[in-house]
Chains A and B, each alone.
Chain A
């Protein structure tokens, strides 16, 4: 009898289903996976080391570039860590703005996950639908921060500026007539909050639309049901968090169990799965989008009520941490010195250490910050959820077929910015 040997195959780093720069060395027995060995680090930029050589404020934009699909959430964990060490109170309005943008970011991230996950398995239309709504959210990002992706909006002490009063509108360019323009600008007549409110009203319908394409789709179910099953015990042992943990039926969400900002004042529910397979994780994330949308609606309502009684501050009043207003900076000597010192030397964070975590779209994103009292972090460790998830790919994929690997990678929702840091 001929000797049968396993053979190894390279998957990536240049592969459309590798979601970036994943190099996966697969050991195969026929078409069955015996071992999967992900090689990561192709996008390693040494963010943690770079942060040690930059002031606390200069590191904020680096956080956007970690998980570049949920930008503001990364900033959130970082500023929380700095704020806790400094002992700064964040104004309530800033907390609502942060929570609202965290949830918008969660939708942004889940839409990308949904689009690419479906595309990997062979459903093209979902991708087009998902990117249609992503465009709206990126417009919100742009209206508020000036950047569509890398926002640098959250600052220690609050957020950089208040929500602008007007939503930018489309301008006349060739091939667009007035009627088109009027239709496109219809929901951009009011403030940014009005635009977000309009979006959140539409969005429930959109999620239903995605679900009609996938949830009862026979091909989708054949590709996802029973693929990559993980028990709650193993999920915890492997360090899974977020939808990967909840998909296995573990009731754990930072927003409910250890609430930060204003999550304890908001009404939302935590979906959990039952079997822990790819299909359940899909259902969990779909429901999460609906719940995020509910949170957004509550935040919009609160912010509008706050606007009505004269909007409160959005950044702390402590000028050792947050810059003074432009107006007072230009008329007041003391404020000018504060401004100058803050943007040259930077703030000094008291000696100590702190671990701040948030419920990121992908799981628990944590920042472990060690400060020795200098104007730069002594050590910054970023705990990326995707890192643990990808480490679990070996166990998830064993015994499955080669084609299931793409389904699993989609289900893990990995983005290399935060795995490689």
Chain B
């Protein structure tokens, strides 16, 4: 059976020391946050420390916190989150870093630590515009060839900016501004704490 999260967090703290900015245990899962400048070094340590041995990089994704709690967020905007798994030791860890610059989010690539991040970093670059320094092939991956913008940012509309159709007169595919109006059937609501329990 896996370690209890508290024991795991103790081992992570032992290996990383003061590089951990914040740490949290919730739902039996450990999350740590590190500075973007330490990103590569921390990940290499997590992989190589014998007591941790995170040999599998499960998932890497970007998160745009700008609309969190309807704009109550005060920290940095873009975060990169990795979910790690140790097959050898059978435990999991989530590591997060916030990119220092909201206008041009840059963080170093983890290609040298886990080659598996290759496409995940391309995806985060494509969808959020997070630049991974040192990635050998940082191309768009999911969006169309020639796509403009980063669609998963919170300020990008769900319906997008352009639509595509076949023009019978020009006899080719053309792009034009979207003709649908964005609509929201169920509004997004954040309730105050303890709503409905009183």
A residues with CB within 8 A of B: 40-41, 44, 46, 48-50, 53-55, 58, 84-85, 236-239, 241, 245, 250, 252, 257-258, 320, 344-346, 348, 351-355, 357, 364, 366, 368, 370, 372-376, 378-379, 381, 383, 387-388, 390-391, 420-421
By the criterion CB–CB under 8 Å, are B195 and A239 in contact? no
Determine which of A40, A345, A352 lies in contact with B189 in the assembled complex, contact meaning CB atoms within 8 Å: A345
Query: Is B23 an interface residue, CB under 8 A from the partner?
Result: no
Identity of the chain A residue whose Cβ is nearest the Cβ of B85 in the assembled complex = A364
CB proximity of A200 to chain B, nearest CB, Å: 29
CA distance A237 to B83 in the complex (A): 14
Cross-chain pairs A/B with CB under 8 angstroms, 28 sampled: A40-B141, A41-B140, A46-B151, A46-B152, A46-B158, A49-B151, A50-B158, A237-B55, A238-B115, A239-B115, A252-B87, A258-B2, A258-B90, A353-B31, A355-B92, A366-B83, A368-B59, A368-B61, A372-B68, A375-B189, A376-B188, A378-B67, A379-B63, A381-B59, A381-B61, A381-B81, A387-B120, A391-B118
B122 to A, closest residue via Cβ: A391
The smallest beta-carbon distance between A353 and chain B, in angstroms, is 7
A357-B142 contact given A53-B184, A375-B186, CB 8 Å threshold: no
Contact of A44 with B142 in the complex, beta carbons under 8 Å: yes
Residues of B within 8 A of A345 (CB): 186, 189
Tell me the chain B residues, 25-40 only, with Cβ under 8 Å from chain A.
26-27, 29, 31
Contact with A along B9-48 (1 / 0, CB 8 A): 0000000000000000011010100000000000000000
Contacts of A370 in B (CB 8 A): 63
Query: In angstroms, how far is the closest chain B Cβ from the Cβ of A253?
Result: 10
Question: Which are the 5 A-B pairs with shortest beta-carbon distances?
Answer: A239-B116, A41-B142, A383-B59, A391-B119, A381-B61
Q: How far is the CB of B13 from chain A (nearest CB, A)?
A: 20
A355-B191 contact given A252-B87, A346-B186, A383-B58, CB 8 Å threshold: no
Assess A85 versus B114: contact at CB under 8 Å? Given A239-B58, A375-B189. no
* A353–B56 alpha-carbon span in the complex (Å): 21
Contacts A239-B57, A376-B188; is A388 near B119 (CB within 8 Å)? yes
Cβ contacts under 8 Å, B191 to chain A: 348, 373
- Establish whether residues A257 and B90, one from each chain, have CB atoms under 8 Å apart when the complex forms: yes
Q: Which residues of A contact B190 (CB under 8 A)?
A: 372-374
Chain B residues within an 8 Å CB radius of A383: 58-59, 83
Evaluate contact between B119 and A237: CB separation under 8 angstroms: no
Specify which of B26, B69, B115 is in contact with A237 (CB 8 Å cutoff).
B115
Interface string of B119-148 (1 = CB under 8 A from A): 110000000000000000000111110000
Contact B114 A239 (CB under 8 A): yes
Minimum CB–CB distance for B4 against chain A, Å: 13
Is B161 located at the chain interface by the 8 A CB criterion? no
**Interface contact A364-B142, CB-CB below 8 Å:** no
CB proximity of A183 to chain B, nearest CB, Å: 48
Give the distance to chain A from B95, nearest Cβ to Cβ, in Å.
Answer: 12
B29 and A355: CB pair below 8 A?
yes
Tell me, yes or no, whether B94 is within 8 Å of chain A by CB.
yes
- For residue A187, give the distance in angstroms from its CB to the closest CB of chain B: 40
The distance in angstroms between the C-alpha atoms of A49 and B150, with both chains bound, is: 12
Nearest CB in chain A: distance from B152 CB, A: 6
Whole-angstrom distance between the Cβ of B100 and the nearest chain A Cβ: 20
Shortest beta-carbon distance from B170 to chain A in Å? 23
Q: For A364, what are the chain B residues with a Cβ–Cβ distance below 8 Å?
A: 58, 85
Report the bound CA distance from A58 to B140 in whole Å.
29
Chain A residues within 8 Å of B81, by CB: 368, 381
**Measured CA separation A284–B144 after assembly (Å):** 36
Min CB gap B140→A, angstroms: 8
Q: Report the separation of the CA atoms of residues A375 and B142 in the bound assembly, to the nearest whole angstrom.
A: 28
A348 to B191, CA, bound (A): 8
Determine the distance from Cα of A85 to Cα of B28 in the docked complex, in whole angstroms.
Answer: 11
Does A44 lie within 8 Å of B152, measured CB to CB?
no
Q: Given A48-B152, A53-B188, A372-B69, 18 more contacts at CB 8 Å? A: A40-B141, A41-B143, A49-B151, A50-B158, A53-B184, A54-B186, A58-B186, A238-B115, A239-B114, A245-B87, A252-B87, A345-B186, A348-B195, A366-B59, A368-B83, A391-B116, A391-B118, A421-B142
B152 x A49 contact (CB < 8 A): yes
Chain B residues whose CB sits within 8 angstroms of the CB of A49 once the complex forms: 151-152, 158
Contact present for B29 and A366 (CB under 8 Å): no
